[in-house]
C-alpha cells in the first residue's frame, strides 16, 4: 500500500524543541505504532534539516560507534560508515529503537555537554521498560522527554480532510450555547465521532481508511496491529509470563471504566504476579491506569489511593477490535440489547482524549473519584484541574442520565463547576443540591472534548 502521511498537532511541539535556545537531547516515549518515527521524519522534512537515522533493531552493530564519550569522534565514525557529511547545526541524529541498545541512553549526556549544536532524538517502541530498568543510567537533567499517543479526535478530523468541521469546533464559544449547534452539523460531528470510535487514532488505521475508504480493510489492519502487539510479548517473556500478558491485554477492553480487580483476570493467580504483568503493559504504554484521588485539593496526584484504579486501552479503535465489534455493532442513543458496554466505550474515548490534552513534554496522568460505603457508593468518572480549580467530569453514553454521584461529590467538596459529556447539545445550567449548595453544570457533546479548557 502506498504510504500516506498527514501532519500532526504534535509537530508544532517538536519544532519548538528544535528551535529552542537551550535544547537537550530528546527521548520520545510512546507505544508501538503511534507514529514516533514518522513524526521525526516530518520534522526533518519541514525544517529542512538532514535526517541521520539509525535503527538499532535492524542493525544492532551500530551500537559499536557509541563506545566513545566523545560525540565528535562518534560523528566521524558515522560519516565514514554511512558515507555522508553531517552538518552539526542543520542535522537531526535520530536513534530509533534505542531500547535495543540501552547503554547509548547514558551517552546522550555527552551530546548535550559537548555537542549541543546537534539535534538528537532517541525513540523506542518499548523504551519505558528500559527506562524503568535500574541497570541503565539515565542522564537526569541532560535530556528532555516527549510523550506521543494516538491522534486525538480533532487531529483525526484534520487527517480525514474535515478541516472546516475542526475549525468550527475551535471557534465555538460558550456565548453560543443558548443558540445550539445546527442539527446538520451536530449530526455530522456525531457521525465523525462514531467513525473515530471504530478507526481509532493510530496512524496506520487512519492511513488505511484514507487509502481504501473500506472499514473492512481498516478492521483487517487493526486486527493485525492487535496481533503484532501480542507478538511483542514473546520478545521479552516466554511461557506462563507471556500468556499472562496476553490474557490481561485481551481482558482489559471488557473492563473499561471499572475498578480493577485482579480476580477478574485470573482467580487462580496471585495478585502480585498479575500486578507485575499489568505494570509491564502500562510501561509499554498499551494500557493507562487512572487512580482514585480524594480530590481534597491540589495536586490531585498527592491524594491517590493506589489500590483503587481503573485501566483504559491505548486506543479505542483497537479496543473495539479486541471486543470483536464492527462499525455497525454499536449506536450511541439507541443501544442494542446485546451491547452492554457502549458507556464503557464512551469512557475510553473521554479518557484517551483527556490524556492527550496536555503539553507533549508532560507525562500523561488522569484521576477519578470513588467513595465506597456500605449504603452509598459514589463515583465520578474523571477529575481534572483547570487553572488551579478542580473540575469533575461525568460521561453518559446517551442524551440523558442520572447524576447522583456527581451531586454527592459536589456537595461534599463544595466545588462550583462540573462537566458532563454526552450526546446533548451544549448547555449550561445551575443545579441546586441540598443544604443550599449549587453548582454550574456544563453539558458538552463528545466532539467538543478538545475544547474543554477553553470552554470552561
Please compute the mean of the pLDDT values over residues 118-122 and round it to a whole number: 98
Three-state DSSP class for 215? helix
Is 208 in contact with 217 (CB distance < 8 Å)? yes
> Does 338 score more than 50 pLDDT?
no
Across the range 282-294, mean pLDDT stands at: 95
pLDDT digits (tens, 9 = 90+) for 393-429: 999 987 666 788 999 999 889 899 999 999 999 999 9
Tell me, what's the pLDDT at 399? 61
242 φ, ψ (degrees, to nearest 5) = -65, -40
* Per-residue pLDDT at 317: 97
Angstrom CA distances, 279 to 130, 287, 320, stand at: 13, 9, 22
Say how far apart CA 128 and CA 12 lie, in whole Å.
24
Of 45-49, 225-229, 270-274, 326-330, the one with minimum mean pLDDT is 326-330
Using pLDDT thresholds of 50, 70 and 90, give the confidence band for residue 281. very high
- C-alpha span between 325 and 226 (Å, rounded): 14
DSSP reduced 3-state for 445: strand
pTM of the model: 0.93
- Cα–Cα distance measured from residue 437 to residue 434, given in angstroms and rounded to the nearest whole number: 6
What are the chain's domains? 10-147 (3.40.50.300), 154-455 (no CATH)
137 vs 345 pLDDT, higher one: 345
Q: Are 450 and 357 in contact (CB under 8 A)?
A: yes
Total Cβ atoms within 10 A of residue 208: 23
**Measured between alpha carbons, how far is 98 from 127 in angstroms, rounded to an integer?**
7
Mean pLDDT of all residues in the chain?
91
User: What local confidence, expressed as pLDDT, does residue 130 receive?
Assistant: 74
Cβ contact 396:421 at 8 Å: yes
Give pLDDT, residue 135.
Answer: 64
**pLDDT at res. 343:** 87
Give the per-residue pLDDT at 337: 43
Reply yes or no on whether the pLDDT at 336 is more than 60.
Answer: no
1/277: higher pLDDT: 277
Q: Is the pLDDT of residue 133 over 70?
A: no
Q: Is the pLDDT of residue 74 over 80?
A: yes
Question: Per residue in 224-269, pLDDT tens?
Answer: 999 999 988 876 666 788 899 999 999 999 999 999 999 999 998 9
* Cis before 299? omega within 30: yes
Cβ contacts of residue 203 below 8 Å, gap of 6+?
6, 33, 34, 35, 38, 151
- CA 252, CA 264: separation in Å to the nearest integer? 10
Query: Contact 314/31 with Cβ under 8 angstroms?
Result: yes
User: CB under 8 Å to 37, separation ≥6 — which residues?
Assistant: 53, 94, 96, 123
Phi-psi category of 80—alpha, beta or left, where left has phi over 0 and alpha has psi -120 to 50? alpha
User: Residue 395's closest CA among 385, 387, 405, 386?
Assistant: 405
Spatial contact of 140 and 174, defined as CB atoms under 8 Å apart: no
**Per-residue model confidence (pLDDT) at position 257:** 92
Q: What is the SS3 assignment for 85?
A: coil
Amino acid at each position: 500500500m502506498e504510504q500516506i502521511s498527514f501532519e500532526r498537532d504534535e509537530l508544532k511541539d517538536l519544532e519548538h524543541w528544535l528551535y529552542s535556545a537551550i535544547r537537550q537531547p530528546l527521548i520520545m516515549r510512546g507505544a508501538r505504532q503511534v507514529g514516533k518515527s514518522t513524526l521525526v521524519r516530518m520534522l526533518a522534512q519541514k525544517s529542512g534539516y538532514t535526517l541521520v537515522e539509525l535503527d538499532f533493531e535492524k542493525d544492532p552493530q551500530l551500537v559499536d560507534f557509541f563506545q566513545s564519550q566523545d560525540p565528535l569522534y562518534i560523528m566521524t565514525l558515522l560519516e565514514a560508515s554511512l558515507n555522508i557529511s553531517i552538518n552539526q547545526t542543520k542535522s537531526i541524529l535520530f536513534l530509533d529503537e534505542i531500547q535495543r541498545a540501552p547503554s547509548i541512553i547514558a551517552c546522550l549526556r555527552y551530546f548535550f555537554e559537548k555537542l549541543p549544536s546537534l539535534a538528537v532524538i532517541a525513540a523506542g517502541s518499548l523504551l519505558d521498560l528500559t527506562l524503568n530498568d535500574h541497570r541503565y543510567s539515565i542522564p537526569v537533567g541532560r535530556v528532555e522527554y516527549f510523550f506521543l499517543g494516538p491522534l486525538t479526535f480533532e487531529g483525526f478530523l484534520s487527517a480525514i480532510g474535515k478541516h472546516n468541521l475542526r475549525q468550527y469546533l475551535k471557534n465555538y464559544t460558550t456565548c453560543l450555547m443558548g443558540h445550539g449547534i445546527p442539527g446538520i452539523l451536530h449530526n455530522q460531528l456525531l457521525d465523525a465521532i462514531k467513525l473515530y470510535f471504530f478507526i481509532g487514532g493510530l496512524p496506520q488505521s487512519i492511513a488505511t481508511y484514507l487509502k481504501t475508504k473500506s472499514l473492512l480493510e481498516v478492521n483487517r489492519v487493526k486486527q493485525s496491529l492487535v496481533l503484532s502487539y501480542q507478538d511483542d510479548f514473546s520478545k521479552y517473556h516466554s511461557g506462563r509470563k507471556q500468556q499472562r500478558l496476553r490474557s490481561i491485554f485481551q481482558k482489559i477492553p471488557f473492563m473499561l471504566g471499572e475498578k480493577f480487580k485482579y480476580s477478574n483476570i485470573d482467580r487462580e493467580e496471585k495478585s502480585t504476579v498479575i500486578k507485575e504483568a499489568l505494570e509491564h503493559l502500562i510501561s509499554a504504554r498499551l494500557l493507562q491506569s487512572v487512580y482514585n484521588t480524594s480530590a481534597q485539593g491540589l495536586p490531585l496526584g498527592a491524594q491517590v489511593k493506589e489500590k483503587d484504579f481503573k485501566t483504559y486501552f491505548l486506543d479505542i479503535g483497537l479496543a473495539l477490535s479486541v471486543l470483536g465489534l464492527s462499525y455497525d455493532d454499536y449506536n450511541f442513543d439507541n443501544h442494542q440489547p446485546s451491547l452492554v458496554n457502549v458507556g464503557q466505550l464512551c469512557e475510553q474515548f473521554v479518557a484517551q482524549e483527556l490524556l492527550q490534552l496536555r503539553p507533549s513534554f508532560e507525562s500523561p496522568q488522569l484521576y477519578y473519584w470513588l467513595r465506597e460505603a456500605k449504603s452509598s457508593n459514589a463515583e465520578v468518572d474523571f477529575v481534572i484541574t483547570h487553572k488551579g480549580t478542580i473540575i469533575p467530569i461525568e460521561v453518559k453514553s446517551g442524551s440523558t442520565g442520572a447524576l447522583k454521584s456527581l451531586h454527592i461529590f459536589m456537595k461534599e467538596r463544595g466545588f462550583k463547576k462540573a462537566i458532563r459529556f454526552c450526546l446533548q447539545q451544549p448547555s449550561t445550567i445551575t443545579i441546586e443540591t441540598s443544604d443550599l449548595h449549587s453548582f454550574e453544570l456544563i453539558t458538552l457533546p463528545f466532539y467538543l472534548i478538545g475544547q474543554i479548557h477553553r470552554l470552561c
